[in-house]
Amino acid sequence: MSAITGIFYRDGRKVDPELMKKMNNRLKHRGPDGSAVWCEGPVGLGHQMLWTTPESLHEKLPFHDRKAGLVITADARIDNRKELAEKLDLEDKEDVSDSYFILKAYQKWGEKCPEYLLGDFAFAIWDENEEQLFCARDHMGVKPFYYYLDDDMFVFGTEINALLFKYPICKLNELKLAFFIMFNTHDKKMTFYENILKIEPAHCLLVNKTIKINKYWELDPNIQIIMNSKEDYFKEFRKIFSESIKCRMRCAFPLGFELSGGLDSSSVVCMAKKIYDENNFNNNIETFSYVFDEFPEVDERYYINKIIEKTCITSNFLIGDRISPLNEINDILKNQEQPFYTPNLSIIWNLYKIMNNKNIRVLLGGNGGDEIISHGTYYFKYLARSFQWKKFLLEVYKHSKIFEKSFINLIISNLFLQFVPQVIKNIIRLYKKPNIFSQNGLFILNSKFSVKLGGKRFLNDLKWKPFENARTSRKNHYLSIIADQYVLEMLDKLSSNFLIEPRYPYYDKRIVEYCYSVPEDIKFHDGWNRLLLRKSMTNILPPEIQWRRKKTNFSPVYERNLLIEKEIIEDIFKNENNFINQYFDLEVLKEIYYKFTSGYDSENFFAIWISVLINIWKKLYKINY
């Protein structure tokens, strides 16, 4: 998890090396193992090095291949080195860096080179012969890439902070703010700063006198895999899952694992242990978890201890009971650069401190399991729409018994509501009791602001309509996978403060394609959701976790602990706050806060959280609006 920076003056003026150094130094917290810049004419590239893989210990960036006329800076881990070595006539050995594989891939395949890469990467290559800058970001957006572009220059960096070196006062992107308030995460390009953008996942960008943006990969919506038996599907998943974890365990420093006690993170830990055992490695697996003494209903120690008993791992615990969502919030917001949704980020921040004290540099987590594996319950709607009544009723009945849900409510939501005209659904949605999730924040938006930006239209076109038009569970799964993975960017920034590189086995391109392509009854059957992962983990996971029915909802912790900060919240709501007033309906926020503090409405907790957070962020970054 290094950092990259760069300037390309499209008008031909020379880059000042001192300016390039200042820009690069703004990201020095991400790379203590080396700092360098390369400048020539109108181009400057920078790099802050964080050693993680054995190969990175020998890496020097930016790297100039004079013979090829190419210069590269990269934050990358390439997982198919062996395959590339054969195609590129290279040796797959420790003193050949991952960035060199990328450079040689570009030399051979040009703009098509990202199509041949597997792993997490963000890189820029200056092509001296063509006088152009080529940039790319990995398939799922694990590695960040921000940029500013105008007629005169193109400036980029791993963090927005690198781009603000000349712009300490920032202009607010109001459309992005509206999307945030409406919980619309489907835009993958904008930031909260006007004119600062992101390269989208699976995209590359070519800059010279013109600019060209291409999508080099997308999940094929029609891909399907048919095997001879159900066990073949589970066997193949185990193989791919094992490989996705194994390649992410390539590390020259202590390796850490997040462990929540849930199905996703537990599967990663237990599979990693299996890999170590099969290869006779004596490496110790060290896990990190947050637990709660005062909230037994959300404490995960029972499940975590089941993993400890089975694997003999070393576990580390953080007691999170008294950590407020606003704990160290100024430091966290400076780190994040933008508002974020997750109210437990302060807890994760403190968990990363423990990892940093243990010199953990690479962290494997279970993020993405929900989206990539798929819960599969949209299968009910598909069965209803395809008039498979017997199968529909049987699956709904079994699911209701296993997961202790109302059979009648499942029938109503998955059968009868499917045949209600969309116009009636929209009316019901807008006039039922206001809820920040059911209405996606529309009712807390300032009405003039909402009309100005066309809030309902954006929400309908980008979020409601695509999912409501999904006629099959496959289509629903597809939309969940390709949704913006803003959580990855958030965690990248958070972990960077503690010199930790997060890696996510579920976001491996091979896992993504495989999980999407298997038949629906491999994902959901006999009332069980997430069946592909559950069945594949037989004899690997403890049964108590393999067949765990529910996920933990941490809301009670956030809700109580936010009330610790009543003075901060009430100061924002009581004062004539022009910023909040301009974008939120302040009277609605006050009513929500009164009900919340009175103890009879916690559904709209997030309205309080995001309004308070946005106000703090605005002051911290001196945002103009």
Q: Scan for tokens 């953008």, then name that residue.
A: 197
CA–centroid distance for 160 within its chain: 17
User: Can you state the angle between helices 586-598 and 605-620, rounded to 10 degrees?
Assistant: 120
Question: Within a 13 Å sphere around the CA of 268, how many CA atoms are in the beta-carbon half?
Answer: 32
In this prediction, residue 420 carries a pLDDT of: 65
The amino acid at residue 202 is A
Local structure of residue 56 (DSSP, 8 states): G
- The two most distant CA atoms of the chain are separated, in Å, by 72
Phi then psi dihedrals of residue 36, to 5 deg: -155, 155
pLDDT value at residue 507: 97
Helix axes 329-336, 345-357, angle to 10 degrees: 90
Checking phi first, is residue 367 left (phi over 0); if not, alpha (psi -120 to 50) or beta? beta
pTM: 0.94
CA 91, chain centre distance (Å): 33
Residue 594 pLDDT = 85
The SS3 assignment for 597 reads: helix
Nearest alpha carbon to residue 267 among 554, 547, 553: 547
- Residue at 613: amino acid letter: L
Could you tell me which CATH number the domain at 230-372+484-546 has? 3.40.50.620
Helix (H, G, I), strand (E, B) or coil at 190: strand
**CA–CA separation, 486 vs 260, rounded Å?**
20
Domain 3-215 classification at class level: alpha beta
- Domain positions in the chain: 3-215, 230-372+484-546, 375-444+452-482, 556-624
Asked if residue 36 lies in contact with residue 43, where contact means CB atoms within 8 angstroms, the answer is no
Q: Do domains 3-215 and 230-372+484-546 have the same CATH topology?
A: no
pLDDT means per 10 residues, the chain with 625 residues, are 94 95 95 96 98 95 97 98 96 93 98 98 97 97 96 95 74 90 84 94 96 96 94 97 97 94 96 90 87 94 93 92 94 95 95 96 95 86 87 93 91 75 58 60 80 70 62 81 86 96 97 96 93 96 95 89 86 76 87 82 83 91 78
